[in-house]
Amino acid sequence: MKTPKTLVLAYHGTPGAALAEALAYEIAVPGETRLFHLLVVPDFWDGMQGDDWLNNASTRDAFGDYLENLLDEEAKAVARGLQQRCIERGLEHAVLVRFGDPATCLVETALQQRADLVVIGPPRPKGAPGFRSRMNLEHLARELPAPLLMAPPRTP
């Protein structure tokens, strides 16, 4: 495989994303590869207002601000960890945080950064804890401007 000059890594701190990260480190070459770490906050959070238990607009706004800050801090913590690991490996990198549909954000980022390769993790196994935000692989197959490499799942 030819060394990619621009690699986009979809990473959000899950076990599957950690597999993608490890694969990206195997492929990336210090001094030759620039790694763009894409962290997407899925848009399913957009409608989270707590309407069922919050009874006025100011309380809903305060809750929305709280939730937004919580998601922002979580994203920053994940990004700091990945940045440190890239620095340790001598990889040029940048962190990009987006809000929206994960597949759409990945396609847009690959286009904007002129990616040579996109690396993602495997689907979350049934029964594993976490949110069920799935990557739309059909959308990626149609729209992604670069080859897609999915990390293999970890075998038990």
- Quote the pLDDT of residue 38: 94
What are the distances in angstroms from CA 144 to CA 14, 27, 40, 62, 89?
A: 23, 19, 16, 38, 27
The answer to whether the Cα torsion of 155, 79, 98, 7 is positive or negative is negative
* Phi–psi pair at 56, nearest 5 degrees: -145, 165
Would you give per-residue pLDDT tens digits along the chain (156 residues)? 689 999 999 988 888 889 999 999 999 999 999 999 998 877 655 555 555 555 666 766 677 677 777 777 887 787 888 888 989 999 999 999 888 889 999 999 999 999 999 999 998 877 776 665 678 899 999 999 999 999 998 866
Domain ranges of the chain: 6-150
Q: Where are the alpha helices (DSSP H) in 2-56?
A: 15-27
Closest to 24 (Cα-Cα) out of 153, 139, 121, 154: 121
Look at the domain 6-150 and name its fold.
Answer: Rossmann fold (3.40.50)
For residue 74, the model assigns a pLDDT of 80
Q: How far is CA 71 from CA 21, 52, 153, in A?
A: 21, 21, 27
Q: CA–CA separation, 87 vs 150, rounded Å?
A: 23
Q: Residue 42's pLDDT is what?
A: 74
Tokens of 85: 């690991």
The verdict on pTM exceeding 0.85 is: no
